[in-house]
A and B are shown apart, each in its own frame.
Chain A
């Protein structure tokens, strides 16, 4: 997904000299070309994320359009108060990019498991929270965030949904159907959509039709679309590579309760209130926490056999 991010950043930097990329000393092998081409629009702040967010705020107050970059929790949790007070309260055009969503860096240990970021960023007033599932979504989200007022959070990941073809039908705040189906809907956010797409193929063989929907924007949530899906399908599974508290599944629960919708068949797949002290590949940890196609299939079959 980083290549897709860079593709858009090159385009944006070329078009507008006010677009700047700030990194907390990460992006080896990724940013060199950008730095060479746009030396005045690139800044390695050093390993100092609090300062990076403060600098970003100072630059944005003077009219710069900022992208900050780091991996895992460094671009969010390490400087959360700077995001809250300096960026959000001042409604600045600062777009925070975190690579390594979920268990992307599973082997590196809990410090690098980005599993609470979506819930926490979603709680900050005014932040647009985007967690794309394909490279095209990353590309288009990057461009749209640069034009959007206020703080944006872009969570990218090492995996991505493999689709036969990807469309340009992307707009922040609008859910996007990845696989069309009629029986059950899988709401998913981020690269873990690849597991939902796989699940739809597996169940297709049993003549169970899954509708797989990318909720790439957790905030603002596409409430109407989600409500319609809930009303028109036999059941819903939500899958996200993060904690259950406060994430996509929670958002949908809140939406249902707030709008008086009841769901008979509903399951949230995510990480329970827990840190993983075990390490492993993203695939291994997804399997351990029941966050893969197998888990989705199992949940849907429970609905079917009810």
Chain B
């Protein structure tokens, strides 16, 4: 279990890896990755129980990235936490690589579910949570979703299901960066009042600063009798000055001077 300072450093390293991976691969979605890095660091650095040398350890907590386009962040945090060699990250988005832009489980230790099409993670996580209840297992299931992803109706089917079946071992974390593919969530298909909606669906709703590790720890660790959803208020592109709150970084690849600037912002030498 890492302290706040150590999970901050884990997050910084993951951000550096992710920017390098996207730079080398010429891929996109870096803004979406940077948005959730602190959540990943809190989960893998402190909250979740797992064995990196035994990825299928039966009592491990399960993690699902429903917003699969932020897969680079998951690969990076898994590598940093010892699931596989950090050098493997250099294969991201390369020809013939298994490290796809959207997260894939095949051949990648620690990835529970391949995603990429939105609205898939919460139903599967609910099934896993139900299985744990049936089998009287005490592990937990965590799923990170994007806010834009909440446009998908399948999520609301699962929100209903999880509360109906009292899946208290299930935690959904909504990456509330308020930006989706083309405009803000509120301009596209308004989500607000999101907290009220989720309460109405029978979930225990906690709102935090999604970049404040102590707030994340306390929300993630809190006991609940209902399924728990954490609305993590985040900044898309967090940590790289020119990417923050800029929709274009859903698509662009940091190259040249911009890459150097990103590394500088993240306290990394180039």
Chain A residues engaging chain B, CB cutoff 8 angstroms: 40, 43, 45-46, 48, 50-51, 53-64, 81-82, 85-86, 89-90
Contact = CB atoms under 8 A, between A and B. Distances in A.
A102 to B, nearest CB: 28
B127 A57 contact: yes
A124 to B, nearest CB: 15
15 contacts: A46-B160, A50-B119, A50-B123, A50-B153, A54-B123, A54-B124, A54-B126, A55-B158, A58-B128, A59-B127, A61-B124, A61-B128, A63-B131, A64-B131, A81-B120
Contact of B128 (A53, A62, A89): A62
Contacts of A56: 127
Contacts of B126: 51, 54-55, 58
B157 A48 contact: yes
Given A50-B119, A86-B120, A86-B124, 8 more contacts: A51-B123, A55-B123, A55-B124, A55-B126, A58-B126, A58-B128, A62-B128, A86-B123
Contacts, number: 87
Contacts of A64: 131
Contacts of B160: 46, 48
Contacts of B124: 54-55, 57-58, 61, 86
A54 B117 CA distance: 12
B158 A54 contact: yes
A89 B116 CA distance: 12
A89 B126 CA distance: 19
Contacts of A45: 161
Contacts of A57: 113, 123-124, 127
B122 A54 contact: yes
A61 B130 CA distance: 11
Given A50-B153, A54-B158, A58-B123, A85 B116 contact: yes
B215 interface: no
A297 B114 CA distance: 50
B128 to A, nearest CB: 4
Contacts of A53: 123
Interface string B107-136: 000001111110110111111111110110
Interface string B144-183: 0000000001100110110000000000000000000000
B105 interface: yes
Contacts of B127: 54-62
B131 A59 contact: yes
A81 B114 CA distance: 13
A48 B127 CA distance: 14
Nearest to B128: A58
Contact of A54 (B131, B135, B154): B154
Nearest to A56: B127
Nearest to B133: A40
A90 B158 contact: no
Contacts of B135: 62
B122 A90 contact: no
A251 B54 CA distance: 43
B212 to A, nearest CB: 30
B61 to A, nearest CB: 13
A58 B130 contact: yes
Listed from nearest, the 9 A-B pairs whose CB atoms lie closest are A58-B127, A54-B123, A62-B131, A51-B157, A55-B127, A48-B157, A58-B128, A50-B154, A58-B124
Nearest to A62: B131
A61 B129 CA distance: 11
B120 A61 contact: no
Nearest to A41: B134
Nearest to A79: B154
Contacts of B114: 85, 89-90
A85 B115 contact: yes
B169 to A, nearest CB: 12
Given A61-B113, A85-B114, A54 B120 contact: yes
Nearest to B161: A51
Contacts of A50: 119, 123, 153-154, 157
